[in-house]
Structure 1
Amino acid sequence: MIAFVYAGQGSQRVGMGKDFYEEFPGFARVFDHAPVEFDLKTLCFEGPEEKLSQTRYTQPCMAAFAVGVTSLLAQEGIRPQAAAGLSLGEYSALHAAGVFSQGTAISTVAFRGKVMEEAAAGLECGMTAVLGLDREKLQTACDGASELGVVQICNYNCPGQLVIGGERAAVDRAGELAKELGAKRCMPLKVSGPFHTRLMKPAGDALAAYFRTLDFGPMEFPVYFNCKGGPIEAGETIPALLERQVQSSVYWEDTIRRMEADGIDTVVEIGPGKALSGFFKKTAPAIKTYHIDTAADFHSVVSALKGETA
Structure 2
Amino acid sequence: MIKILTTLLAPSTGHAWVSGFDVADEPEKVRPRINMVSGGETSGYGLLTVRENLWMFSQFYGLSSSVANQNIKRLLEVVGLTDRANAKSSDLSTGLRQKMNIVRGFMTDPDVLFLDEPTLGLDVGASREVRRFIRSWVDNNSTRTLMLTTHYMVEADELCDRVAIINQGRVLACDTPANLKHQLQQEAIFHLEVSPFNGSLNAAMFEALPGVCNVIHKPQEGFESLELILEEEQALARVVNTLNTANIRLLNLQKNEPTLEDVFVKLVGQSMEEVEKKGEPDE
Q: Which has the higher strand share?
A: 2
Q: Radius of gyration: which is bigger?
A: 2
The TM-score with structure 2 as length reference comes to: 0.29
Q: Which has the higher helix share?
A: 1
The TM-score with structure 1 as length reference comes to: 0.28
